[in-house]
Amino acid sequence: MKQPLQKEKILIEEFLDKNLPQENLKPEILHKAMRYAVLGGGKKLRSLLAVSACEAVGGTVDNALQAGCAVELIHSYSLIHDDLPCMDDDDLRRGKPTCHKQFGETIALLAGDALLTLAFEWASLAKISNPSRSSEITSALAEFAGHCGMVGGQVVDIEATGTIPSVETLQFIHQHKTADLIAAAVVIGGIAGDASKKQVELLRQFGVNLGLAFQYIDDILDCTETSEGIGKTAGKDIVAGKITAVSVFGIEKAKKIAKKYKTEAVNTLIDAGWETSNLSEIADFVTGRSF
């Protein structure tokens, strides 16, 4: 399935290219590593969700562009750290060598740190629809990406490796390691468009269900596609003893559960009157993709 919103994706990639530190800025090696990790690949899904959520509540792409790209920096830093030998120890990301394979472990670690820090700078300075809500942007980013969000999910993912798979552990990992940052993108996009409290909650519900569907599909693709197709090492999670949707439910049941989460996400859009928005198109892509 072709990725949607190509025009918006180009705007996002242009913003990232222009606003990330240039390679000739000292320390050059750090800035090269940061740009390498963010540019030249990836779906930019979280940024697309942010601008689409902003439009759904009456804002513009410009209102959410910088804040949405801040979420993309968080995602990129998490991938750098995920791939390190001390975590998932992977050699391939987005069809090219992982950051630590290209620049060494130390620079990769620091590049991730720098992207995380820069994300909060961008979020705090974003030109949103209602500037008085700027603190809500940074607060949401910290909540969803922090110790009780994405990072907490990463910890449980590591601790659970090699243990007996359980539905409860799988749900915690999927909810926090993946779904929380996708929920952050749509919540931040909504705030950037001056969404009401009720709209923000509907966006959060949509984001969580979409994020869970996304991770179920990711686990399935890890077992059914080639490394070339998905741009990372296929089959590695099962070999490593990771708890995945496939290890808990098997492929066919995992597909049914992914469809259920997608349906719940779309039903939220219908309840909110956003069923014809770009968010609906992204939901179709997430569950129909092969990469």
Instruction: Count structural domains, the chain.
Output: 1
Tokens 């492929």 identify what position? 251
Considering the domain boundaries, does residue 81 fall inside one? yes
Considering the domain boundaries, does residue 70 fall inside one? yes
| Cβ atoms 131, 178 nearer than 8 A | no
What are 130-142's pLDDT values in tens digits?
A: 999 999 999 999 9
Query: 24: number of CA atoms within 13 Å, CB side?
Result: 0
Considering the domain boundaries, does residue 1 fall inside one? no
* Domain harbouring 255, CATH code: 1.10.600.10
From CA 181, how far away is CA 204, in angstroms rounded?
10
Q: Which residues of the chain have pLDDT under 70?
A: none
Considering the domain boundaries, does residue 180 fall inside one? yes
pLDDT at residue number 220: 96
The whole model's pTM is what?
A: 0.95
Residue 158: domain span: 6-288
From CA 154, how far away is CA 161, in angstroms rounded?
11
What are 14-53's pLDDT values in tens digits?
A: 999 999 999 999 999 999 999 999 998 899 999 999 999 9
Considering the domain boundaries, does residue 238 fall inside one? yes
Helix (H) or strand (E) holding 87: none
pLDDT at residue number 233: 81
